[in-house]
């Protein structure tokens, strides 16, 4: 019989944010037993059972809150600017190890759940096996395995390219057989050289076949949409999350479509805007400029990246104003964005108009809802897994205090994050001059 006197942890802090969006509680506490939360509230009300053996943690002046959830990662990559084609060309064993390193960085940064948005072959399923064997530690993982692409389509190089509703349906079944928790579809082209970002990839019949098959098995769907028609087709097919949600016409004109945005709201689909991955490209060029100047050609690329960022950011501000369901999904390690830096994306949402508390919700409880894991994690509530972080400061006032994570608990276990030097190496820093400042000042966000 289990010893009922064992396994309690009492985590107290100067302030408690439960992730649900309500005001912080002063002097809060979380009582944990085993992996689960059993009580939450003002410290005076959270009392362990009499005679229980309790491990006590006390963080005066700090904030206790749910672990962060990053709804969009690519654990295979490096975040050093190399294209997806080059990542896919590496042996599976190498990128599985890289995924393990990324998982560690992410966990150490306070992220306790991730949804990987596409990896090569079986690499992420293998990573999960390694975690189950206790070889490495990682955040909770929601996996699609490989994204589904058309022939030559975005991320087709990861291993799944299909043609026609029959093959599309088969791909969904195959991925579910391998262990996919949800289905990721490239509804338009993207950065993949052989793809067409401004054009829809799949036919509507193909898209419908995939979403219906996924839904039949209770799996959510998400589509990569680099242009407006991809979003429209995704809505027609009943997709659950629109990724990037770039409002561009087929000739490349940026054109915010309020009618399409309204449809997203009516259908209740989530939006994952991925702004910082665009900003990280601006920063990468700017850093090079500061180090050794830019050629005329590269300066043109910097200018173009800045325009791209402005389009994404101003359209995001409209989506936030309209009250759509927007969550934090970093898209790291795409482009120049490394894992372990999720906070930059939440910061972008706040700068586009979310309150810092709404930003917190976008990376905790709303993120969990969007992934269908809200019965397990995403908020501090009795019955949920004790995924808990301690923050030095008040993120409800300044979202950037989320960089100051002083402790991470995953399923009730305190994570040993090693020396400060390891943690310091995870964060990417902005260039000295931030060329995007002109955009943010015009957006008028709350941070």
- The 3-state DSSP class for residue 72 equals strand
Q: Is the CB of 117 or the CB of 364 nearer to Zn ion? A: 117
> Could you give the string, one character per residue 284-323, with x where binding to Zn ion holds by CB under 5 A and - elsewhere?
----------------------------------------
CB atoms within 10 A of CB 374: 19
Alpha-carbon distance of 140 to 119, in angstroms, equals 16
Q: How far is CA 167 from CA 150, 156, 216, in A?
A: 10, 14, 17
Least Å distance between CB 397 and Zn ion? Answer: 31
Does position 70 bind Zn ion by CB under 5 A? no
Q: Is the CB of 145 or the CB of 165 nearer to Zn ion? A: 145
Cis status, amide bond into 333, omega within 30 of 0: yes
Q: Is the CB of 334 or the CB of 403 nearer to Zn ion? A: 334
Alpha-carbon distance of 415 to 39, in angstroms, equals 21
Least Å distance between CB 158 and Zn ion? Answer: 11
Least Å distance between CB 117 and Zn ion? Answer: 4
Binding Zn ion by CB under 5 A: which of 70, 105, 331, 436?
331
Alpha-carbon distance of 185 to 147, in angstroms, equals 5
Q: Is the CB of 33 or the CB of 74 nearer to Zn ion? A: 74
Stretch that binds Zn ion, among 83-91, 111-119, 172-180, 206-214 (CB under 5 A): 111-119
Does position 374 bind Zn ion by CB under 5 A? no
- Strand (E) positions, 19-158? 25-33, 36-42, 54-66, 68-73, 111-116, 140-143
Q: Is the CB of 79 or the CB of 356 nearer to Zn ion? A: 79
Least Å distance between CB 192 and Zn ion? Answer: 11
Does position 332 bind Zn ion by CB under 5 A? no
Does position 117 bind Zn ion by CB under 5 A? yes
Does position 211 bind Zn ion by CB under 5 A? no
Spatial contact of 358 and 15, defined as CB atoms under 8 Å apart:
no
Q: Is the CB of 117 or the CB of 169 nearer to Zn ion? A: 117
Residues 6+ apart with CB under 8 A from 84: 77, 155, 157, 158, 191, 192, 334
Phi, psi values for residue 436, rounded to 5°: -85, 0
Contacts with Zn ion, residue ranges (CB under 5 A): 117, 331
């Amino acid at each position: 019989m289990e010893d009922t006197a064992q396994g309690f942890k009492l985590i107290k802090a100067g302030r408690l944010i439960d992730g649900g969006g309500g005001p912080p509680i002063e002097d809060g506490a979380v009582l944990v037993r085993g992996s689960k939360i059993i009580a939450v509230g003002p410290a005076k009300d959270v009392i362990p059972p009499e005679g229980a053996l309790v491990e006590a943690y006390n963080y005066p002046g700090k904030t206790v809150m749910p672990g962060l959830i990053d709804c969009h990662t690519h654990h295979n990559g490096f975040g050093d600017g190399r294209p997806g084609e080059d990542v896919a060309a590496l042996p599976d064993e190498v990128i599985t190890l890289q995924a393990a390193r990324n998982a560690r960085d992410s966990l150490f940064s306070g992220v306790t759940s991730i949804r990987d948005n596409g990896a090569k072959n079986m690499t992420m399923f293998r990573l999960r096996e390694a975690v189950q064997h206790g070889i490495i530690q990682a955040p909770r993982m929601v996996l699609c395995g490989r994204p589904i692409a058309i022939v030559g389509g975005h991320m087709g190089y990861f291993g799944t390219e299909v043609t026609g509703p029959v093959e599309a349906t088969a791909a969904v079944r195959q991925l579910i057989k391998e262990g996919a928790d949800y289905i990721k579809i490239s509804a338009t082209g993207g950065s993949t050289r052989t793809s067409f970002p401004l054009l829809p990839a799949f036919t509507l019949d193909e898209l419908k076949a995939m979403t219906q098959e996924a839904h039949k098995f209770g799996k959510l769907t998400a589509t990569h949409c680099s242009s407006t028609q991809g979003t429209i087709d995704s809505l027609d097919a009943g997709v659950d999350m629109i990724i990037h949600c770039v409002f561009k016409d087929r000739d490349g004109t940026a054109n915010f479509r309020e009618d399409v945005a309204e449809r997203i709201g009516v259908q209740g689909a989530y939006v994952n805007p991925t702004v910082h991955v665009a900003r990280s490209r601006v920063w990468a060029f700017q850093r090079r400029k500061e180090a050794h100047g830019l050629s005329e050609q590269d300066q043109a690329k910097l200018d173009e990246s800045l325009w791209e960022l402005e389009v994404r950011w101003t359209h995001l501000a409209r989506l936030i104003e309209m009250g759509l369901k927007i969550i934090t999904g970093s898209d790291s390690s795409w482009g120049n964005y490394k894992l372990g830096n999720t906070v930059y994306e939440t910061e972008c949402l706040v700068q586009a108009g979310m309150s810092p508390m709404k930003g917190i919700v976008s990376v905790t409880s709303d993120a969990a809802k969007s992934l269908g894991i809200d019965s397990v994690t995403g908020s501090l509530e009795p019955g949920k897994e004790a995924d808990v972080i301690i923050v030095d400061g008040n993120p409800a006032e300044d979202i950037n205090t989320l960089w100051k994570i002083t402790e991470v608990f995953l399923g009730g276990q305190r994570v040993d994050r090693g020396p400060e030097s390891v943690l310091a190496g995870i964060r990417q820093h902005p260039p000295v001059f931030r060329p995007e400042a002109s955009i943010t000042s015009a957006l008028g966000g709350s941070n």
